Amino acid sequence: NAKTYNNEYLQPVSQILLLYHLQNESINGMDIDTIANKLGYSNMAISRAIRELHNKNLCKIKGKRNLTIELETNKIKLWWLIIDYLKSPVIKTFYMDNIPEEMRFYSSNLNALSFYTNIADYGKKCIAITKNSYYKGIKNNTEIINSYEGEIFVEVWNYDPGKLKTIKEFVDPLSLYLIFRESPDERIQNELKNLIEKFL
């Protein structure tokens, strides 16, 4: 089992590749061009991701010139094989009172958890944005960012939530699982188990 000897987290593109395979469509047998087009990454980024997964014994590579990827077909088995290599996509959090008009965002955190599970929403709007949106749009705008309070709780993700979006405007269930994985709340832990059963 790969996770017994190597506990390094995967790069964001490698993580997206796995989560896309588990939630959106199987990438087994797809070549690098096809995967790159589907996910909006360069061929080089996808090639690096596949090599990383292969080096960690998480996939097989077929072919020499036109590489294709082969992942475990049993989704639950694959999930528990990769789980120790996956981490929460959230790299920073803060609060805002208003969302800039041009900003693309997705409902996340407790808003999304209450949508997918029986956990009650606590009322505050929670959104996920990409790190590009953060660095290009609002990082230096101290007028709209607050570290401690505000109407909207904002998560900055290290990959684009839109690449894995499965339902409406909500972030994907498996990334959400990774956000709450360390939660001490027993009710949340029970709902996370249900989340995995429901979506895998």
Band of residue 7 on the pLDDT scale cut at 50, 70, 90: low
pLDDT-based confidence at 5, cuts 50/70/90?
A: very low
Q: Write the pLDDT tens digit of every residue in 161-199.
A: 999 977 879 999 999 999 999 999 999 999 999 999 999
Residue 1, pLDDT above cutoff 50:
no
pLDDT score of 6 more than 80: no
pLDDT tens readout for residues 77-129: 999 999 999 999 999 999 999 888 888 999 999 999 999 999 998 889 999 99
Convert the pLDDT of each residue in 49-85 to its tens digit. Answer: 999 999 999 999 998 778 899 999 999 999 999 999 9
User: Strand pairing of 90-96 and 68-70?
Assistant: unpaired
| Strand pairing category for 68-70 and 60-62 | antiparallel
Are 153 and 85 contacting, i.e. CB atoms less than 8 angstroms apart?
A: no
